[in-house]
Amino acid sequence: MIVSHPSGNGPVLRAQEVDVVRDGNHLLRQISLTVRRGEHWALLGANGAGKSTLLNLLGAVTHPTRGVVEVLGRRLGRVDMRELRSYLGHVDPRHAPDSPLQVREVVLTGLTNTIALVPRWEPTEEESRRADHLIELLGMGSRGEARWPTLSQGERGRALIARALMPSPRLLLFDEPATGLDLAAREQLLGSIDALRHEHPSLATVLVTHHLEELPASTTHAMLLRKGHCLASGPVDDVLTTDLISACFDHPVRITRGEGRWSAKAATLVTAS
């Protein structure tokens, strides 16, 4: 399949002074963000802070009310959103095929951007080899023939990442990929995300989560959202600090980073005796 990918130069994503207003409510106010090749952003914030609203803009799902959003160099409002979406990978653990496909088949539907196999469509040999490679990369090598209903939630999440990678996107968006996973499944998933970032050094990613423990060690940048505003944005070690995270979640926490990963614990309150 030959596709004309949007321009490879310039930022992968650019949002400039973006507002989103729905039913008179400001869901996002004056948000600006630039994501470049090889950068891995975390979008963090409490429930209702506006993370999914922002991810939907970056994924060319919705338009801003005001401001400019450019995805892969193309400005929303001036391009076919459906076509633009076919150039990026959007991993949402709530997505599911509508029939009991095998893992390999689910991964191949990433090429047709459909929830089922397209009748009479056949992958080329190269596409089949790529699907097998991605299944292996995501640690699912022994599960290629397994059917969707028999997969654990963690396996489904990793199959969906392999699916999103099929068209070789330059941008991958993750919407709370570790939600509902047990400890082992979460660690496998985060390890897989680190591995794919290592194998594709020019890939850019944006990952939404509420939990610092769910951030891969390969995260390079972060944006903190609070009530639709950007509280902080930049290199990860400047943003994931005790003071900023406490302000973001309206709760005193202490942030530590060990072996590349982050954790947050309630800060001990010092009371006057």
Residue 55, SS3?
helix
CB of 30 to ligand ATP, least distance (A): 15
- Per the CB < 8 A criterion, the answer to whether 138 and 192 are in contact is yes
Question: Which lies closer to ligand ATP via its Cβ, residue 33 or residue 140?
Answer: 33
Residue 45, SS3?
strand
Q: Which of residues 23-62 bind ligand ATP (CB under 6 A)?
A: 23, 25, 27, 45, 47-53
- Per the CB < 8 A criterion, the answer to whether 158 and 139 are in contact is yes
CB of 110 to ligand ATP, least distance (A): 24
For 77, phi then psi, to 5°, come to 100, -20
Would you count residue 22 as binding ligand ATP (CB under 6 A)? yes
Task: State the DSSP code for 201.
Answer: T
CB of 103 to ligand ATP, least distance (A): 28
- Cβ burial of 228 (10 Å; 0-12, 13-18, 19+) is buried
Question: Which lies closer to ligand ATP via its Cβ, residue 24 or residue 258?
Answer: 24
What Å distances lie between residue 230 and 29, 135, 247, CA to CA? 8, 36, 12
263 DSSP β-pair partners: 256
Residue showing tokens 């900023």: 244
Measure the CA–CA gap between 52 and 61, rounded to whole angstroms: 11
CB of 64 to ligand ATP, least distance (A): 13
Question: Which lies closer to ligand ATP via its Cβ, residue 165 or residue 245?
Answer: 245
What Å distances lie between residue 184 and 17, 153, 158, 208, CA to CA? 40, 12, 13, 20
CB of 156 to ligand ATP, least distance (A): 19
Q: Which of residues 80-109 bind ligand ATP (CB under 6 A)?
A: none
Question: Which lies closer to ligand ATP via its Cβ, residue 46 or residue 195?
Answer: 46
| Range list of β-strands (E), the chain | 13-22, 25-35, 40-45, 66-71, 74-75, 89-91, 171-175, 204-209, 221-226, 229-235, 253-258, 261-266
CB of 32 to ligand ATP, least distance (A): 17
Question: Which lies closer to ligand ATP via its Cβ, residue 27 or residue 264?
Answer: 27
Q: Which of residues 190-249 bind ligand ATP (CB under 6 A)?
A: 210
Question: Which lies closer to ligand ATP via its Cβ, residue 111 or residue 232?
Answer: 232
CB of 206 to ligand ATP, least distance (A): 13
Question: Which lies closer to ligand ATP via its Cβ, residue 102 or residue 209?
Answer: 209
Contact footprint for ligand ATP (CB under 6 A): 22-23, 25, 27, 45, 47-53, 210
